[in-house]
Amino acid sequence: MKRLFLIEFHKLKNNRAAKILSLIYFILFSAIALFASIRFNFGSIDFRLADQGIFNFPYIWHFNAYIVAFLKLFLAVVIVSMVSSEYTNRTLKQNLIDGLSKKEFILSKFYGVLGFAIASTALLFIVSLILGLIFSDYDEVGIIFSDLEYIFAYFLKLIGFFSMCLFFGILLRRSAFALGFLFLLWIFEGIIQLFVKFQAESLEFIINFLPLQSMGNLIIEPFSRLGIIKSAATQLNSEFEKSYDVEWSAILIVLSWSFIFIFSSWKLLQKRDL
């Protein structure tokens, strides 16, 4: 495992585009937290987003995991570009000549996916913890470390999404095609959701099994949990009941898709003449 991880790390270290995109990702990650803590003064208006309760424990785990997940596209570009470069630079063929098996090649890529997911999740945890300790109205240990399932859900969401990107990269061999296919999948799922909603409501459960939708189901939007939103809903006599839990069904579906994408990548590489 260590050897395969080091092989992938060495490739990443020598890939300038991957380093730049990774750096942009982590800078934007930190910038979101910085922006939320800035106080804006416009005449009589004194506003700071952090004062709206978004950094209160345990809500911060949910809010940050949901918001930061949108930045995963930067790392998706890194993953598909590294896979495509294996073909354009013929490093894949050279690795196989040097004794690396196709199974070990896929494992090395998966370890790279795992490394990105662990690093991003660790950063999410550290930044959220620091922001919470600074801005949260609650400092009890039991409250601080409750709702950490959203951190796990974020990690699993990255594993599923990056595994899918890895599969598309190996399937199509070109980063532009892989990212384009990802965009088409997003449109396709949207069309299916609209069709089911207006034409076949009895089949609504199928939507939860779609790859992108199942990953989205891991972390439900957190905005309606905010006190200001609940107060507004109460005043408008439109109170609503909604579950924000990380559901076991969503976890199992994403784990299944992750396995399918990694296994399919390996079988595809096995059958392909390089």
pLDDT the model gives residue 20: 80
Residue 45: inside a domain: no
Quick check: is 255 in a domain?
yes
Cα-atom radius of gyration of the chain, to the nearest Å? 21
Rounded Cα distance between 254 and 171, Å, is: 20
- What is d(CA 177, CA 188) in angstroms, rounded to the nearest whole number? 16
What number of residues does the chain have? 274
Q: Give me 251's structure tokens.
A: 């976890």
User: What's the confidence (pLDDT) of residue 258?
Assistant: 96
Residue 196 lies in a domain: yes
Each of the 274 residues of the chain gets a pLDDT tens digit; together they read 667 667 666 676 667 777 787 788 778 877 776 776 666 666 666 666 666 678 889 899 999 999 989 888 888 888 888 888 877 777 777 777 777 788 888 888 888 889 889 989 998 999 899 888 888 888 888 899 988 999 999 999 999 999 999 999 999 888 888 889 999 999 999 999 888 887 777 777 888 999 999 999 999 988 877 765 555 445 555 555 677 889 999 999 999 999 999 999 999 988 876 5
Position 243 scores a pLDDT of: 79
In this structure, is residue 137 part of a structural domain?
Answer: yes
In a domain, 44, yes or no: no
The answer to whether position 163 is within a domain reads yes
Residue 201 domain-assigned (yes or no) = yes
Residue keyed to tokens 């990802």: 182
Which range marks the domain in which residue 250 is found?
2-39+50-271
Q: First and final CA of the chain: distance in angstroms?
A: 24
The number of folded domains in the chain is 1
Q: Which residues of 169-201 are buried (b: 16+ CB within 10 A; e: fewer)?
A: bbbbbbbeebbebbeeeeeebeebeeebeeeee
Q: How far apart are CA 157 and CA 161, in angstroms?
A: 6
The whole-number pLDDT of residue 161 equals 95
Q: What's residue 42's pLDDT?
A: 63
Exposed (0-12), middle (13-18) or buried (19+): which is 140, by Cβ within 10 Å? exposed
Q: For residue 28, is it within any domain?
A: yes
